[in-house]
Structure 1
């Protein structure tokens, strides 16, 4: 693989370095904050060898590469002149970049840089527990103590690691942030605070709290520092700013953190830990089933990062985390589904991708498996979710927990030693086996049998041509900013950026559905095609405003008849994407050919040919 050329091509297709606000990478994805996502050539990027897919989530433009992502990012960073060391990853303040997206992006950016090292340290701690349990090492031996320091040291000084990455994300002096974190874990001060006498700051008692291995207090402290530091920069002259700003920042923030911010963060962490424990203790098998079923859905939408501080806080406060073993079950279920695809599919390319995805998923990297195999084929993802729910329920019911944080995978097994370990093993075996069997039986259609079934069940289908429902610019369905449509989960189709305000019937047929919010309309053509026309993205929130219905349900229509009006300028001014999606919801019954034209007028969009033996 020519990673240099791949990086150059991706850079060109995202709009060049001029269109990049920030870029970084995680374990499998190139993550961009683009100035204008509309410029990016999503379809061209997805067609590149070495690219699994493109995902738009949490305000980020994500190019899924797989395990070789670092080899692509390095030349891309060089070609785009990205300062990957010292320049903070500034946030894109576009109107569609919500506070939730910014929060998820912040958490992702904070943990991603050291996720591999943290996972390695966690596995090392788990292995040491295994070595002690089997009698291979004694806790008093020098070998054990040296290795334990290597594994536990990372977590003990975790606030310092977080200070570096959080400061970078928030455009704060990283060394001041690290100095602040170092003060929180400073051994002499920590001992004095936790002693029976305690200490005070000008008569104000310091709350006795331990900050080693903590997460939330230092993140809050750096966030507060991000507001104080610019004020100090304005106060001090430029000639002395480099010294006096850090001096004042440390003198203010250290006592402020110990007196207010730190205890507040600790309280928040305690509430979160107690909340998770309460839910888990109330119905552990239900918690296991829910997390086992939906964890990979969280990964798809990028919200899984919000669980990382909670899990790490559980380990710091409770000494264990009940979620991590369940997440390993969810991960392994995807590996099982990939194996099911590998065993069943007749497509050589899919068989190769599924085979390699089994190994990467077992090792905890599921993005190539999800985007390249299970979600792409849809049913295997559902099978994996069912298997994950059952395996997760078993692990949860057995009281499984992790003693240290690491990536959910088989490598993490040593960290699950102790209470509930057997239930984790059973849950993993069940999830993997069931994921494989369900996918083999129900997740992948045998090509010949599938075609025969379609012909038997859809004898009335006939070849037909779909005309544009509106005039405008034709774009690939996979490039629209909606995961459901872009993933083709509802079926294949095409999208149009409209230049008129009237939707017309693309076929002769019958109105099968009109949604109360009038933003979408269903049609069944005379020749059997089931068509969904969706006006705009997230326009359901408008509750019918700016839409005018021109037809009734079950009404017969002719090709070209006006069926709906909408005010595209008003919708756009309200902050919504006005792209029109035309979906063939019974896609499996057809071979679908798309037009090569870029302008929709009275030309054909799609040709539907019923599948035959």
Structure 2
């Protein structure tokens, strides 16, 4: 008899061995492999392994093993650990694809730029306060005190290349002092003086491009990207006793000239191109570009793509001194989130939602929108529509008024000084008016169209606030399972997933849910509930094993839109609340919410008398009958 350990070993062998595994995770029924080389996986051999129900190929290689997936995962991890010495030379890397490349680039951008935002934001606001003090006549720009204080924020932007060097080197694991030493040349006063002197300067007869590198972000990034492999190679080929000085020496010799002649000018050109692109978009579409960006920001932020705006916005503020595009659109969106949330707080009769909306609205008013975005507006389409309306109208006004931002910080009441322009006092006034337009529009629209009966948040709260969160399931015959969620029951083959739709895991039905409250379809013990909380299994009192899987591929959401009300091993009764799912958040993340309800031990039970059509939670949907009983009825 094949044991789980034997089967795990065979699976490990047929996916190409431990060295071919870049990452491994599992959901409620599947082992999910990210392989270095997908071609090395032997699909036929994997399907022949005892215990393997099916194999699905795609961006991940998914091996379906059923309810014992946790045991298989543990055994494979043990075997991988036992063979770690074979992989000690380095971490396996997946083959490069466009999708993987995009994810890696975004991860690098976030790691490099996010840590330096506080320094840039603080310096920008500090500078705006000095401008305000000068505008009010409290200080003169010729005063020594003003000049000393101005040097504080100016230093942050002047040495921005070093800040970027630090975060990039930290992300890539490069020697940070070495990276700072090499890139430091670009802002070294003596070197800058040589570049700007009459006639410029040359190295071994080759003229060096005369570029001012202060406030640049891309030259240091390109330099660190080159230093990364050079340092690794130098470390590998250099004998241990002389590495301390010889590796840095080789890096200085190789990287510095390339930085001076190629990477520095290339990075400067790239920064100018991105800055020019932002300014071109604004110059071509004008206020339309700002209004449209403000209107779609809720969706951009919800999937994390707003991070892509960070590098060009930093470059624009550093080089041009102001940003007329992204930060201006963000002001309209942030304040619209506040207006919509506060209107919800007035209209709703649900105390819990009212408390959330008040705190979220105040937070958004001061520039912190995450509580409002994820706690109120994304979960309630009427509130979201009001945000879009407010963002659009506020963006139109700000765009027509040509408002510019002078500090890189989340716009709001607390940071409104970021719009102070010493040469144009109306810039701040227009920013305030545009913010008020966004607030008023979102507030009024939300106030007019809000309905508690259409609130996804209230539906979830009401389900949770019932008697222990349970429902009164209708009386049903033995073996009859009830719908775990309200919605429309459809045949299982309508599920757009080869595992569920093909019946690989077993027979059953699927439900297109209309609410996010998910209940136990039968009485028994919770046999599986993963940390991702997207699925659970129940072993019924008669031995039937049922899987309820909320959505397709929702394991990738890492549990964010789910709240579990039971734990693995708990006893549950039919109709008891098991978990809650934020259906709107799942939709916005791009996943299907269809919920398969499957009998896993189909060798012992048949699905009969299956229902289709609209159904309320607690209504019978099919009967799980033992093979003997099912055959006896034929």
Q: How does 1:336-415 map to 2 (within 5 A)?
A: 336-415=339-418
The corresponding residue for 1:287 is: 289
The corresponding residue for 2:541 is: none
The corresponding residue for 1:435 is: 442
1:355 and 1:91 map into 2 onto residues whose CA distance is 48
Match of 2:330 among 311, 317, 327: 327
Q: How does 1:253-264 map to 2 (within 5 A)?
A: 253-264=255-266
Aligned residues of 1:467 and 1:602 also touching (Cα < 8 A): no
Per-residue deviation, 1:320: 1.8
Aligned residues of 1:322 and 1:402 also touching (Cα < 8 A): yes
Residues 51-109 of structure 1: CA distance to partner in whole angstroms, max 9, x if unpaired? xxxxxxxx9xxxxxxxxxxxxxxxxxxxxxxxxxxxxxx99859897111111111111
The corresponding residue for 1:494 is: 595
What secondary structure sits across from 2:367 in the alignment?
coil
2:161 and 2:146 map into 1 onto residues whose CA distance is 24
CA RMSD of aligned residues (A): 3.7
- Answering whether residue 204 of structure 2 is matched by residue 202 of structure 1, we say yes
1:140 and 1:506 map into 2 onto residues whose CA distance is 88
Aligned residues of 1:35 and 1:92 also touching (Cα < 8 A): no
Residues 421/176 of structure 1: CA separation in 2 closer, same or farther (3 Å cut): same
2:267 and 2:601 map into 1 onto residues whose CA distance is 53
Question: Could you list the runs of 5+ residues in structure 1 that have no partner in the other structure?
Answer: 1-33, 42-58, 60-89, 452-462, 510-524, 530-589, 604-613
Per-residue deviation, 1:236: 1.2
The corresponding residue for 1:193 is: 195
Per-residue deviation, 1:446: 5.2
Q: How does 1:559-578 map to 2 (within 5 A)?
A: none
1:291 and 1:505 map into 2 onto residues whose CA distance is 52
Per-residue deviation, 1:220: 1.4
1:497 and 1:298 map into 2 onto residues whose CA distance is 35
Per-residue deviation, 1:143: 2.8
Aligned residues of 2:330 and 2:411 also touching (Cα < 8 A): yes
Q: With structure 1 as the length reference, what TM-score do the two structures score?
A: 0.63
Per-residue deviation, 1:506: 10
1:235 and 1:365 map into 2 onto residues whose CA distance is 50
The corresponding residue for 2:78 is: none
Residues 95/208 of structure 1: CA separation in 2 closer, same or farther (3 Å cut): closer
2:400 and 2:121 map into 1 onto residues whose CA distance is 25
1:332 and 1:593 map into 2 onto residues whose CA distance is 42
The corresponding residue for 1:216 is: 218
1:180 and 1:116 map into 2 onto residues whose CA distance is 25
Q: How many residues align?
A: 428
Aligned residues of 1:363 and 1:409 also touching (Cα < 8 A): yes
Q: How does 1:412-431 map to 2 (within 5 A)?
A: 412-418=415-421, 419=424, 420-431=427-438
Aligned residues of 2:330 and 2:410 also touching (Cα < 8 A): no
Aligned residues of 2:331 and 2:412 also touching (Cα < 8 A): yes
Residues 38/380 of structure 1: CA separation in 2 closer, same or farther (3 Å cut): farther
Per-residue deviation, 1:195: 2.5
Per-residue deviation, 1:157: 0.8
Match of 1:104 among 99, 106, 114: 106
The corresponding residue for 1:139 is: 141
Residues 348/125 of structure 1: CA separation in 2 closer, same or farther (3 Å cut): same
Residues 343/173 of structure 1: CA separation in 2 closer, same or farther (3 Å cut): same
Q: With structure 2 as the length reference, what TM-score do the two structures score?
A: 0.61
The corresponding residue for 2:152 is: 150
The corresponding residue for 1:237 is: 239
Per-residue deviation, 1:601: 8.7
Residues 173/446 of structure 1: CA separation in 2 closer, same or farther (3 Å cut): same
1:422 and 1:185 map into 2 onto residues whose CA distance is 37
Residues 339/253 of structure 1: CA separation in 2 closer, same or farther (3 Å cut): same
Residues 127-158 of structure 1: CA distance to partner in whole angstroms, max 9, x if unpaired? 11111111111122233223222222111111
Per-residue deviation, 1:112: 2.1
Question: Could you list the runs of 5+ residues in structure 2 that have no partner in the other structure?
Answer: 1-21, 30-59, 61-90, 460-473, 475-481, 484-488, 493-499, 506-546, 562-581, 626-634
What secondary structure sits across from 1:474 in the alignment?
strand
